[in-house]
Structure 1
C-alpha cells in the first residue's frame, strides 16, 4: 500500500520520506513551522525551519531554539522531498508549506486569509494535487466586510469616545490582530497606547513594518493621560486589575467571532468589530478552487460541515483531527501571559 506523502499522526502532519513534521504539536526532531501562533509553533523541537520574518517571532515566544529561516519560494530538499514556503496572508511571517515528491504536490496552509491586510505578505495561490485547509470560519454565515470599512468604523468609534472624554480599550491578539489594528488606526484622532505584551511583540515586528508611534502603558501612566486615547490590549487583559487604570473606558473587540449574534455580550464588551485573520466562507471556497486540487483535507474549525459541502460539489474531501485551534489558538503564548502577570504585579 502506498504511503501518502503527508499523513496525520499523534504528533502532527508527518512526511515519512523526509522525516519532517509540519506544525507538530508534540516535540519532534525536524519541524517546519507555518507561523508564530501558539497552536502552530510549539516549544521542544530539535530543529525549526520557518520563514525569515517568523524567526524573530518564534524566538521571542519560544526562547533559545535552533531555527533556520527560508525566503518565499526558496526550494530546499530533504531526502529527495522538495519543500518551499509561500505567503499565507494570515499574520506577519505566515506561510503555506508546499511539499513535492515524484511529481505529487501537497500544500498545507496552516492558517490563511486572502484579503490583503497591508501588514502581512498577501496570500499566494499555490497549485497542488492535495490541499490541507483550515476551516475556522467554514460556515456560509461568515462573510467579511472589506477591511477599510471595518477600520473606518473603529476609528469613528474611537473619535466618538474621545469626544465623550473616555478611553477606548480595543482587544486583539498580541500577534497579528494587534499589529493589523495598529497599522490602520488614525493617529490624528489621538494617542495610541499599548499593553506590555502587545508592545513587546510590536517592537519585534517594527523592523518589518512601518507602524504608527505607540506608548506602553506602565505603572507610571496616569489615568488622565489615557483619556481620549485608544489602548490596544490582548483579550486576557479584560477583567484584570490592569484595566482599572483606564476608567472611564469603553471596550471593543476585533474578531471574526463578533459576526455571531450574542458574541459581544458573552465577551462582555461594549462594541464588536468583525475583523478576522482567517478566510470567510467565500474565501475558503475560492482558494480551494484556485489551487486546482482534487483532494482536500479539512482540519480545525467547522471541518465536518465544510468537508461535507465540498463532497457535495464534487471534491474528494475529508476531515483530519489536529490540535490547531484557529482564532482561539491565537490567544497569547505562555510568555505573553507571564508578561501580563508581571505588568499587573507592578500596579
Structure 2
C-alpha cells in the first residue's frame, strides 16, 4: 500500500493528518498555521492560530480577538510528533514558509514569496525539503522584474515631475506589504508621506509590533488639501476612482503592481503611470527558488499553474497542479489575466528558458 503523504490537499486547506493541523486553511478548523496575514491566507473562524511574531498585530487588527501563538524564524513547535518551523518568505513583513518534518520526511509550504530583498521584509531563505508547495502567481516568462532600486528611481523622478507641474502625487499599492515597501524606499526629498486610513491602520499595527517605519500622516477630514498635495499620498486599490481620491486633484495617479508588466494593465486601472513592483517572485525567481530547495516534487497552488508545471516537468522536476483558494489578495485577481495577445508570444519562449541546474538529490535539512 502506498505511503500516505505527510501533507494533503483537502477542501479546507493543506492538511497534516499526523499533526492534526492545517496550513492557511480557508474554512474554519481547530488548528491553523498561517504563512502571512493577507486575507487569502489568514481567514477568521479558526480555534487556534500559529504565525510569525511580526504578523501578530496585523492578524489581530484584521481578524479580531483570536487565540494566537507566535514564534520566531527557525523556532520549532511540536504537534503530535510533527516538527513545525517557520522560515523567511520575503513576501511581506512577517511572512513565512512553513517547514513540516516527521520521521525524516520534510515538506515546505512557501505561502507567497519573493526572492529580492526589499529592504523591509526578512529576505527569502531557501529551505531544503523533499516536497515543496509553491505559489506561481507570475509563472510566465513575460514577468521578469527589474531591480527595485530602478523602480524607485522612476517613482521619485515621477514625483519630482508632478511637483514641477503642480500636480499632487497619488501612489497606489495594497495596504500590507506594498505600502510599507513604498514608504521605506521613497526618497523623501519633499517632506511628508500621507496615507489613506486603511494603510495607516496597518502601519500602526506593524509599529505596535516593533517595526520601525518612516513617519506618515493619516489623511482625515481635518487634513488641509494644499498641504497634502505638497507631499506624496499612498493609497490602497479600493480608493481608485472614489471621491476620496478625486478631492486631491489635479493629481497624477501611479499604480504599483507586477501586473503592470502586461500591456493594457495600466489602462484597465485608469492609471497615469504603472510601476512594475511586485511582492511575488518573477519567473526567474520562482525557478531559482524551487531549484534551491533540492525537492523531489513540487506542487503549484495558484497563478499560471498549468504553464509553469509544464515547464518544470520539461526540465526534470516532478511538478503537479493543485486547486486552492489562494491568490485573492489586493494585488492580484483570484485568477491570472486571460492569456491574450500579450502572453501568446511568451508561450513559444517558455521552453527556451535555461534551467538553473543544481543537485536535486539531497533533502532533509534547512539551509
Same fold (TM over 0.5): yes
Change in 2 beyond 3 A, CA 1:329/1:81: farther
Whether the aligned pair in 2 keeps the contact of 1:111 and 1:326 (CA below 8 Å) is no
Assess if the C-alpha contact under 8 Å between 2:144 and 2:284 holds in 1.
yes
Normalised by the length of structure 1, the TM-score is: 0.93
Distance 1:134 1:166 in 2: 39
Give 1:131 deviation, angstroms: 0.4
Aligned to 2:256: 254
Residue in 1 that maps onto 2:310: 308
Aligned residues: 331
- Superposed counterparts of 1:61-80, under 5 Å: 61-80=62-81
Q: Secondary structure at the match of 2:73?
A: coil
* Cα deviation digits, residues 1-22 of structure 1 (max 9, x gap): 3211000010000000011000
1:39-188 superposed matches below 5 A: 39-188=40-189
1:265-302 deviations in Å (ceiling 9; x for gaps):
00001000000000000000000111100100011100
Rate the CA distance shift 1:53–1:105 in 2: closer, same or farther, 3 A: same
Distance 1:107 1:319 in 2: 16
Q: Hey, what does 1:285 align to over in structure 2? A: 287
CA distance in 1, matches of 2:211, 2:67: 25
**Distance of aligned partners of 1:203 and 1:231 in 2 relative to their CA distance in 1, 3 Å threshold:** same
Other-structure match for 1:229: 231
User: Helix, strand or coil for the counterpart of 1:21?
Assistant: strand
Distance 1:262 1:244 in 2: 23
1:154-206 per-residue CA deviation (whole Å, 9 max, x = no partner) reads 11111110111111011000110000000111222232110001011111112
Structure 1 contact 37–329 (Cα < 8 Å) conserved = no
- CA drift of 1:210 comes to 2.7
State the alpha-carbon separation in 2 of the partners of residues 28 and 162 from structure 1: 51
Shift of 1:330: 6.7
CA deviations on 1:213-271 (whole Å, 9 max, x unpaired) are: 11111111122122232100000101112112211111000000000011000000100
**1:329 and 1:42, CA in 2 relative to 1: closer, same or farther beyond 3 A?**
farther
SS of residue matched to 2:247: helix
SS at match of 1:48: strand
Q: 1:166–1:248: 8 Å Cα contact kept in structure 2?
A: yes
How far the C-alpha of 1:52 sits from its partner, in A, is 0.6
TM-score by length of 2: 0.88
Gaps of 5+ in 1: 332-347
- The within-5 A match list for 1:189-338 is 189-206=190-207, 207-325=209-327, 328=330
CA, structure 1 residues 327+148, in 2 after alignment: closer, same or farther (shift >3 Å)?
A: farther
